[in-house]
Amino acid sequence: MTTSPARAGRPLRRKKAAARWEGLIYVLPALVLVAVFFLIPLGMTIWMSFHKWPLIGVPRFIGLRNYQRLLGDSSFWASMWFTIKYTVAATVGLLSIGLGLALLVQREGRAISLYRTIYFLPVVTGFASAALLWAWLSNVDNGLFSPLAQMLGITSERVNILATFQPAFWSVTIMVLWKMAGFYMVILMSGLQAIPQDYQEAARIDGASSLQRFRYISVPLIRKPFALALILCVSGSMLAFDQFYIILAGGPQNQTITAVYSIFLESFVSFRMGYGAALSVVLLAVLMVLSVIQLALLRDKGDRR
């Protein structure tokens, strides 16, 4: 008695269905976490952006009025422009220093391991703690920077570096470079260590200099780790809040209010939750566009085919 093809294929289909269910069970916890902590809050934020949503009271649907108001909100666009300037400064500094440190510590050795630890230590410090430390160091009365500058002859008297825009901006930026450079060092170092040594040895035998090996071998082969570092750096800088809130509180003269700081003020100081949600949606859209542009620019030629 022969078995029909339909019956013969049933066990195989059952195995495939069971395998799919098993795979779903494995990823279900991750899907639940993504839904609870990302998709649902995102949907709620978008829904709030179409409402006049006071902190206390009954929300009222107003359509696109929050977005219409946003177009003429000069304070928000000023905060966005400041955020972009800070992002450019922080990104260039972090990636340059991170790559330099990665080149220094990519080799193995007892002293190298110590240097890696020293460079990475500031990363484990919380942003709030680092900002509080930096605020104390920058204090004109009992801090360290102003008396040290006076003692070294850089200034004739104690100067409050947080009282004017340029010194305050660069002071916070330097703090971020000190705090986060070790993180990007690790990402770029992993890319450098993944390059086969045969490539470097062959280029050295052919007479290539250190600069030529870095330009023609290291740079192309760390494109993907560099893209990851760039996206993380730009996203983190665009979402900057802690350092400017704790150290400068938006000063001097509200010149250091970032986009997230502006959202905080609208939502939790002015109690305009709906308008703050609209600002958040716009910032999310800007981040998505920037990430897509970065991925397109840094994609390998082989990936585009």
Q: Tell me: the pLDDT tens digits for 7-42?
A: 545 666 666 666 666 667 777 888 888 888 888 988
Cα–Cα separations (whole angstroms), residue 103 to 133, 191, 215: 29, 11, 13
**Residue 143: per-residue pLDDT:** 81
Low-confidence winner among 108-112, 147-151, 172-176, 222-226 (lowest mean pLDDT): 108-112
Across residues 113-117, what is the average pLDDT?
84
Omega cis (within 30) before 252: yes
167 in a structural domain: yes
For residues 247-254, average pLDDT = 87
With cut-offs at 50, 70 and 90, classify the pLDDT of residue 264. very high
Indicate the range of 18-27, 252-261, 263-272 predicted with least confidence. Answer: 18-27
Given pLDDT bands bounded at 50, 70 and 90, which one contains residue 238? very high
Q: What is the mean pLDDT of residues 160-177?
A: 91
Residue 128 has which token pair?
């709030």
290 in any annotated domain: yes
- Give the pLDDT of residue 1: 46
Whether 104 is covered by a domain: the verdict is yes
Q: What confidence score (pLDDT) does residue 149 get?
A: 81
What local confidence, expressed as pLDDT, does residue 262 receive?
Answer: 94
pLDDT at 231 over 80: yes
Contact 41, 249 (CB under 8 A): no
Domain harbouring 81, CATH code: 1.10.3720.10
In a domain, 252, yes or no: yes
Give the helix ranges, DSSP H, for the chain. Answer: 5-34, 40-48, 65-71, 74-105, 110-120, 127-137, 145-151, 165-193, 197-205, 210-213, 219-221, 223-238, 242-243, 259-264, 273-298, 301-304
Half-sphere exposure of 98 (CA within 13 A, CB side): 31
Is the per-residue pLDDT at 228 higher than 60?
Answer: yes
Residue 84 domain-assigned (yes or no): yes
| Identity of the highest mean pLDDT range in 42-46, 218-222, 292-296 | 42-46
Structurally, how many domains does the chain consist of? 1
Tell me which residue range forms the domain holding 278: 65-304
What would the pLDDT profile of 169-180 be if each residue is shown by its tens digit?
A: 999 999 999 999
Query: In this prediction, what percent of the chain has a pLDDT beyond 70?
Result: 90
Residue 294 lies in a domain: yes
Give a yes or no: residue 231 inside a domain. Answer: yes
Judged against a pLDDT cut of 90, whether residue 155 lies above it is answered with no
pLDDT of residue 9: 52
Residue 42 lies in a domain: no
Strand, coil or helix: what is 61?
A: strand
- Res 7: pLDDT: 55
**Residue the block writes with tokens 């990936």:** 303
pLDDT-based confidence at residue 126 (cuts at 50, 70, 90): confident
pLDDT band (50, 70, 90) for residue 77 = very high
